[in-house]
Structure 1
């Protein structure tokens, strides 16, 4: 694992909330490198700092101390505007609660990040429809989120995360609100992304999700307590994410 091949790097990462006797060390002196193409699962008890770590890595929160690098660029010192541009272009987010815009259709939710990144409306819609087809929701493209099941909403959210072909996808408890059948659908998609070489960091309580990863990090009290590589010999696809999803340039 070399620094030059790391999509994400964190050095001495610290995030505190509160002060004095109320001080919470959510993330406490964490070092991390995630190489290109690796699927990393982060597990640990509730309140151990998993989600906070993910938010720091994706630039949704700023650290109290330490450094965060994405694709060789330090992001914790960026302005808010530059940070927003970085997130649009380099990071795809998938959340437990989906965070879809309720007034927009499935297709409109997926194409929104592409429009914000400067894609033409025609190109943004093309990419949105291709991705919805790949996650099995082409027939639901015009549906509002209220007319979709939880599993369908999460598949829309995954498509949205992928629309700008991000360097890394960060997923925070992506199966936490799903039933077994929907969880299996999401697991299949993540396994396809892993096989295509997409870099993934997944925070999860679900051992089934962690089992799809190349590497498992365990957290407790804001710190890493174990770092294990899993099934390194599992095969991967050769076509890359763009080939898998049929996006192209």
Structure 2
């Protein structure tokens, strides 16, 4: 789907930059359109984005600006109308469905606002499931899942089902599940959107620990408290990149993390226009 008068720069041959040592995740001219003719809408429109290994990136913007669509494109949950997605030095937007599913299982961890845990499985079974689907031996998958639940502070809840867990506990299970296959990148879509201030504080501390461990993390958020833990904040407006801010000092948990966000900080000015 090409637009008249709007050229896209596409890399050809090997990985952009010529080496796997480049960005762990890259978007080149990334666009996604919905509808046809007069009803055509470009939810993501010509996004170029490089995300180095180990960086925590927050994506902000008003509701409907294309944040979640961008995350789905980067993670292979949706396919672009134009442009490219590169992961680990490999172009992935043109992969077949089976290859793309394998890529998502092994290289991308997803964390959603609504958790998406399987109600009939215990916490440890939810966490180990992606490892089993990726081909891990049951004993290895269980050991890895148990270790991750301990890491997120839920070892004592390993045998509990989601209905027996609080919202914050369910989100920590979801984060452990996202990490079980040691992904190249974790993509989190409004990960604190359903949490109270205390649970948000716990999740922010966990994300800060992941960054310290070198995990590449991309988070879509409306919340300044979440954005403030990032190395870098980009904002979308009408599907295009509007701002790109690098935060001095790297990720941190702001004082009074349970407080409402506002426009008093530099990030507040960026997020103040959000819905």
TM-score of the two chains, using structure 1 as the length reference: 0.92
**Structure 1: segments with no counterpart, 5+ residues:** 236-249
Cα separation, partners in 2 of 1:146 and 1:117, compared to 1, 3 Å: same
| In 1, Cα distance between equivalents of 2:29 and 2:196 | 37
- Residues 140-155 of structure 1 aligned to structure 2 (within 5 Å): 140-155=157-172
1:72-119 deviation digits (Å, cap 9, x = unpaired): 111110000000110111100000000001111100000000001111
In structure 1, the residue matched to 2:238 is 221
Q: 1:22: how far off?
A: 1.7
Q: 1:15: how far off?
A: 0.1
Q: 1:233: how far off?
A: 5.7
* Corresponding residue SS for 1:15: strand
In structure 1, the residue matched to 2:210 is 193
| In 2, Cα distance between equivalents of 1:59 and 1:100 | 20
**Structure 2: segments with no counterpart, 5+ residues:** 1-15, 253-275
Q: Following TM superposition, where does structure 1 have runs of at least 4 consecutive aligned residues deviating by more than 2 angstroms?
A: 2-5, 232-235
Query: What root-mean-square deviation, in Å, do the aligned CA atoms of Structure 1 and Structure 2 show?
Result: 1.3
Q: 1:24: how far off?
A: 1.5
In structure 1, the residue matched to 2:41 is 24
In structure 2, the residue matched to 1:238 is none
| In 1, Cα distance between equivalents of 2:40 and 2:173 | 38
| In 1, Cα distance between equivalents of 2:100 and 2:248 | 35
Cα separation, partners in 2 of 1:39 and 1:143, compared to 1, 3 Å: same
1:202 pairs with 211, 219, 232, which one? 219
TM-score of the two chains, using structure 2 as the length reference: 0.83
| In 2, Cα distance between equivalents of 1:16 and 1:102 | 34
Q: 1:234: how far off?
A: 6.5
Residue 85, structure 1, aligned to residue 102, structure 2: yes
Question: Which structure's CA Rg is the greater one?
Answer: 2
Q: 1:5: how far off?
A: 2.4
| In 1, Cα distance between equivalents of 2:22 and 2:87 | 11
Residue 156, structure 1, aligned to residue 173, structure 2: yes
| In 2, Cα distance between equivalents of 1:77 and 1:67 | 8
| In 1, Cα distance between equivalents of 2:159 and 2:101 | 28
Residue 50, structure 1, aligned to residue 64, structure 2: no
In structure 1, the residue matched to 2:4 is none
* Corresponding residue SS for 1:63: coil
C-alpha contact (below 8 Å) 2:230/2:251 kept by paired residues: no
Q: 1:23: how far off?
A: 1.5
In structure 1, the residue matched to 2:124 is 107
